[in-house]
Chain A
Amino acid sequence: MIPHAPILAILLPLFAAFLTPVVGILSRRRDIKRAREWFAIAAVLVELLVVASMLPTVWGGQVLVYKLGGWQPPWGINLAIDGLNLLVALIVAGIGALVMIYSFVYMERDTGLDQYYTLYLLILAGMMGVALTGDIFNLYVFFEIMCISSYALVAFRRKWQSIEASIKYMIVSSLGTSFILLGIALLYGLAGSLNIADLAQKLGQVSPSAVIVPLALFVTGFGIKIAMVPLHMWMPDAYQAAPSAVAALFSGATATVGIYAMVRVVYILFGAFAIGTMLATLGLLTMVLGALMALAQRDLKRLLAYSGISQIGYILLGIGLGTVLGIQGGLFHLFNNAIYKTMLFMIAGAIVYRVGTSDMDQLGGLWKNMPVTGTLFAVGALAISGVPPFNGFASKWTIYVAGIEAGQPVFTIIALITSALTLAYFLKALNSIFLGQRPKHLSDVKETPLPMLFPIMLLAVLCVVFGVLPQLGIDLVRPAQEAVMNSSGYISEVLRGV
């Protein structure tokens, strides 16, 4: 492991965020082209390396506890890394790196890129902080850093639609973060601690009626972030208005962090496996509503946003089942969703980059011009629809089996029908964009530039690899599942010696 890797994983993007404008100014003065972009890409690649360096230790069964200032938890702030948050950190760093590479060309026509890369690295620092911290108040602070950067990124292009979407997102999301802060205040009043492990230990001795309100506040707050029905409405507006690179980052990484925070708080902090059925039911509602709304969309990015809502439903269903297989399936789907959702938003961005619109009624027959992009879209569409041999099939299948094993065959049937709906609206998208007659004005459209295609291709390869070798994915998420189901191990490791 790289020395001080846990804190480096947060500090690296944080410092890089504030250094990026300086690099930008220097590169313009010295006439060094794209030094800022290369600096940002180098920062995220080093970030990925730092996170990866923690894998052997954590997968070896240890909980990494990094005490800030050498203060012993629960008095000092600590970073506590188990299988669950390392999986999330890996997804955040991986998706962050790929979207950054994609942004290199995708954002080249925009102005104000110093701010873009600063906000991008800031959101990465926020996500990494949420993922790695062992302190609930720190989690809130990093969550706010992530959210505030994301409001600015949605409004980045300063068009009327993006500013409106950003303001709506900010108001709804601020309500959510206020709920979280209120929940933290109530917990502190109840247990007198902010350390997650210490709180988890102390809440075990508190009457269940006392934790209902804080738990509901947390679930609602994080539910807004992950767009769980009926708290989802901000998402299609924000994803449609944001630059596609930003939407790709949100759908792949930010949503993952939201789910992580929900799981950490509900299952590890509160130990509330009893509300699993509620989460699974909300997951079902989320998946069905998302799929039906996606079926009615004309705009590709809006369709992908509703599809993202639907996939969050699958993850909630798996996690809500609360069994070994259910949590494995949910976390595997979380991992897979990050892969193909990021990929599909990148493809939407490639279409916007080349054609200038994501309105499916103005597109058609693009396979002739963009055969590689079309093939990659087909791979992503089949993967998200749960068609074998792609990765979406493996994780959905795990969730289906988990539903039957948990004595909830109706959940499985609804999930299966929703998968068919997913395939239906992606076939519609594939047909509207890449097949059929090509409008005359699209005859000169060129293939996606290679630097944008590279991260998409890499994600497509992962869709195939984790579909053909699903055991790899299950092995990848098993330490995370074990961490979810073994909160006592986390508590004893963090509070060792107290």
Chain B
Amino acid sequence: MAAESVLFGRGFWGPIIATAAMLLIAAVGGLILLGGRRVTKAKPSAGKLKTYACGEELEAGDIHADSEQFFSPIRRVFKPFYRYIRPAHSGDLSNYLFWVVVGLIIILISIAVAMGVV
């Protein structure tokens, strides 16, 4: 079948070979890492582990990245989207029902256009 040859045959994507290659690369990477650790011994010192934040010394356990700020640059790119779409997901039931009605109208018009009636 043509679909099979496009997908998983003749050179496009050989999943078993690719998986074996990935595992091999991971194993080589692991060996390099282990080798590196053997050659350069870690020299821990108390000062290296201390966290200095705006004059306050924090315990390691007190520091945690705020998930809201994670990928904030990406979210800044989509700021207009969030400005309009997030309030629509506020939990207001009338809002949900409004969008169901809007959805029905959109689908009705789209079907009419797709079936060549309008």
B-contacting residues of A (Cβ < 8 Å)? 164, 168, 171-172, 175-176, 179, 208-209, 211-213, 215-217, 219-220, 223-224, 228, 230-231, 233-234, 236-237, 272, 274-275, 277-278, 281-282, 289, 292-293, 295-298, 324-325, 328, 360-361, 364, 388-389, 394, 397-398, 401, 405, 421, 424-425, 428, 431-432, 436-440, 443, 467-471, 474
Contacts and interface: CB of A to CB of B under 8 A. Distances in A.
B42 interface: no
B108 A401 contact: no
A428 B15 CA distance: 27
Nearest to B116: A208
A296 B86 contact: yes
Contacts of B95: 233
A38 to B, nearest CB: 38
Interface in B91-118: 91, 93, 95-97, 99-100, 102-104, 106-108, 110-112, 114-117
Contacts of A328: 3
B4 to A, nearest CB: 7
A230 B67 contact: no
13 contacts: A208-B115, A220-B104, A223-B103, A292-B78, A361-B64, A389-B19, A397-B7, A439-B61, A443-B61, A467-B15, A469-B16, A470-B7, A471-B8
B67 A298 contact: yes
Given A175-B97, A296-B75, A296-B86, A216 B104 contact: yes
Q: Which of A171, A275, A424 has the most CB of B within 10 A?
A: A275
Given A233-B88, A296-B75, A424-B74, A212 B112 contact: yes
A216 B116 contact: no
B111 A212 contact: yes
Contact of B64 (A230, A278, A293, A364): A364
B57 interface: no
B74 A278 contact: no
Interface residues of B, number: 52
Interface in B37-55: none
Given A275-B114, A428-B67, A439-B61, A468 B16 contact: yes
B52 to A, nearest CB: 15
A443 B7 CA distance: 47
Contacts of A278: 107, 110-111, 114
B42 to A, nearest CB: 18
Contacts of A469: 15-16
B111 A216 contact: yes
A282 B75 CA distance: 23
A282 B110 CA distance: 10
A398 B115 contact: no
B18 interface: yes
A361 B89 contact: no
A474 B65 contact: no
A212 B115 contact: yes
A437 B60 contact: yes
Contacts of B8: 470-471, 474
Interface of B: 3-4, 6-8, 13, 15-16, 18-19, 22, 59-68, 70-71, 74-75, 78, 81-82, 85-86, 88-89, 91, 93, 95-97, 99-100, 102-104, 106-108, 110-112, 114-117
Contact of B19 (A438, A443, A468): A468
Contacts of A293: 85-86, 89
A292 B89 CA distance: 13
Given A219-B107, A219-B111, A389-B22, A438 B61 contact: yes
A172 B99 CA distance: 10
B71 to A, nearest CB: 6
Given A168-B93, A389-B22, A470 B15 contact: yes
Contacts of A274: 114-116
A452 B58 CA distance: 36
Given A234-B96, A277-B114, A397 B13 contact: yes
Contacts of B117: 208-209, 212
B89 A236 contact: yes
Q: Which of B65, B102, B107, B110 has the most CB of A within 10 A?
A: B107
A275 B111 contact: yes
Nearest to A231: B103
B23 to A, nearest CB: 9
Contact of A230 (B7, B103, B110): B103
